[in-house]
Amino acid sequence: MLDDWAAGFGIDWARDLEGDFAEAEDMLRVQRLDPERMGRNGQLAMEGAAALGVSGGPIARNAGACVQCSSCPLGCPIDAKRGMHVSYLPRAVAAGARLRAGVEVRRVLVEGGRAVGVECRVAGDGNRPASTFTVRARHAVVVAAGAFGTPQLLSRSGLGNDAVGANLHIHPACWVGARYPEEVRGWEGVMQSYYVDGWEAQGILLEATFTPLAFGGAWLVGSGAEHQRAMLDYPHMGSIGVQLTDRSAGRVRGAGDGSLRISYGLDRADAARVVFGIARAAEVHFAAGAAEVYPNVAGVKVLRPDDVASFEAARIKPADLRLEGFHPMGTARIAADPRQGACAPDGSLHGTAGLYVADASLFPTALGVNPMMTIIAFAKQVGRRVAGAAERPLSAVDRP
C-alpha cells in the first residue's frame, strides 16, 4: 500500500517509514502477543487458520503489562495500554507543549493567504459562561482533528479545495460469531489477539476479536427469548472480526447549523468482498471445531459447515450486511496534484500557506490494516517538514 501511495500520489517518503515505525513501537512498547496469553478465542482462530493452511500470526500490541481482561473497548482500567495520554502527550508536555482540554477549535485564522492561528471556544457550564479565545501561531497551524473533525474545521473556515471531505474510507467491518462445544470464555484474554492475512489480496483481514458482553452482545442472534438464550451461551462463543480495505468512498460535509453530515455507501463489489470475508471467517471457525456460525447478515441467522458455499453464492445486497466502521480516513488526502487531493506530500493544505494536516485524513486510499502506527508515522513526517519550514526564512511565496 505504501508503495502505491508513493507511486500514485507523490508521497516519496511513504517508502521509507521503517525508522518511524520502529521509533513508535519503542515509544508504545509494542510487543507481539505470546500465544499462551491470547485467550482461547485467539487460540481457536490460530488453530483454524493453521488447519486451513492460511497465513496469520499473534497481533503485536501496545499493552506490555496487560492482565488479559478483554475490556479494551471500554478503556484500559490499569493503563496497561499505552494510549496517547500515557505516551506521546506527557512527552509533548515535557518538551514544552501546552494542552487545553475541553476546547473546540472553531476556525483557522488566515491573513494574506497564510494560516496565522485558530479561534477557539470553551463551552459554558453551571459555573461559567461559554467563552472564546484565539491562539496565534508562531510558525504554522497543524490540524489533527481526525477524518471527521479535520474536514469539518477546514470547511467551516472556508479553506481547501473540493477534495476536503471527499474520499472517506472506513474499513467496513463485522463480527462473525460462532458457537463452540467447548467453553471459550473469550473474556479471559485480550480483545484483539490473532490476525489472518491470507486473503489480503482480496482486501480482507480477519482478526480474532472478543469484546465484553456489554459491547459484544450486540452481534448475538435473535431478539427476546432467543437473544437471551444466546446471551446465556456467551461462554461458548468465539468471534472473528472481518475488515475490508474499502474501495467505496463516502463524504463528510458541514451542515449549515455547524453540525456534521457523513454519507457513505458500500458498493456491490465491496459488499461481495465482505461476503467472501464472512465465508472465510466461517471456515476458520469450522476448522477450529465450531458447531455453528452467526454471519450477521439479514435473513441468514446460522451457518453450518455445509452451508458456506450456498451462503457465498446467494445474492446478498449491501443493505443486508450489518457493518461497523472503526477507522475513518482519507478526507483531506495527500496528492501532489491538487486536482486529486487536499494536501501536498509535505502535509500542507494546497492553497493555504502555513497550514498542515497530521492525522488519518491524509491517507490517499483505505490502508488495509489497523491505522494507528501509520497515523503516527505520517504525523512524524509532517512534523519534520513543519519544523524544517519553520527554520527557513519566509519566502516571497510564504510571506503574507
Residues at the interface with ligand FAD (CB under 6 A): 73, 104-105, 144-147, 149, 153, 192, 326-327, 359-360, 370-372, 375
Distance between alpha carbon 92 and the CA centroid of its chain, in Å?
23
Q: How many CA atoms lie within 13 A of 236 on its CB side?
A: 16
Under DSSP, the state recorded for 359 is: S
Residue 283 contact among ligand SF4, ligand FAD, none, beta carbon within 5 to 8 Å by kind = none
* Cβ distance to ligand SF4 smaller for residue 75 or 224: 75
Q: Please list the residues that pair with 292 across neighbouring strands.
A: 179
* Cβ distance to ligand FAD smaller for residue 353 or 360: 360
Strands 103-111 and 60-61: unpaired
Find the helix or strand (DSSP H, E) in which 121 lies.
strand 114-122
Residue 272 contact among ligand SF4, ligand FAD, none, beta carbon within 5 to 8 Å by kind = none
- Give the whole-angstrom CA distance, residue 347 versus residue 349: 7
Q: How far is the CB of 292 from ligand FAD (least distance, A)?
A: 27
Distance between alpha carbon 375 and the CA centroid of its chain, in Å?
9
* Cβ distance to ligand FAD smaller for residue 171 or 280: 171
Specify whether 285 is catalytic.
Answer: no
Q: How far is the CB of 279 from ligand FAD (least distance, A)?
A: 24
Distance between alpha carbon 289 and the CA centroid of its chain, in Å?
31
* Cβ distance to ligand FAD smaller for residue 308 or 367: 367
Which of 169, 285, 327, 350 is an active site residue? 327
Residue 76 contact among ligand SF4, ligand FAD, none, beta carbon within 5 to 8 Å by kind = ligand SF4
Burial 211-241 (b: 16+ CB within 10 A, else e): bbeeebeebbbeeeeeeeebeeebebbbbbb
Residue 298 contact among ligand FAD, ligand SF4, none, beta carbon within 5 to 8 Å by kind = none
Under DSSP, the state recorded for 136 is: E
Which residue bears the cell 499505552?
82
Q: How far is the CB of 13 from ligand SF4 (least distance, A)?
A: 31
Q: How far is the CB of 79 from ligand SF4 (least distance, A)?
A: 8
Q: Which residue is nearest to ligand FAD (CB)?
A: 149
The full DSSP string for 178-228 is: EE-SS---TTSS-SEEEEE-TTGGGTEEEEEE---HHHHGGGSS-SHHHHH
- Give the whole-angstrom CA distance, residue 118 versus residue 131: 14
Residues engaged in binding ligand SF4 (CB under 6 A): 63, 66-72, 76, 78, 80-81, 190-191
Q: How far is the CB of 43 from ligand FAD (least distance, A)?
A: 19
Q: How far is the CB of 73 from ligand SF4 (least distance, A)?
A: 8
Residue 66 contact among ligand SF4, ligand FAD, none, beta carbon within 5 to 8 Å by kind = ligand SF4
- Give the whole-angstrom CA distance, residue 103 versus residue 123: 7
* Cβ distance to ligand FAD smaller for residue 133 or 326: 326
Residue 143 contact among ligand FAD, ligand SF4, none, beta carbon within 5 to 8 Å by kind = none
* Cβ distance to ligand FAD smaller for residue 62 or 279: 62
Catalytic residues, by residue number, are 327
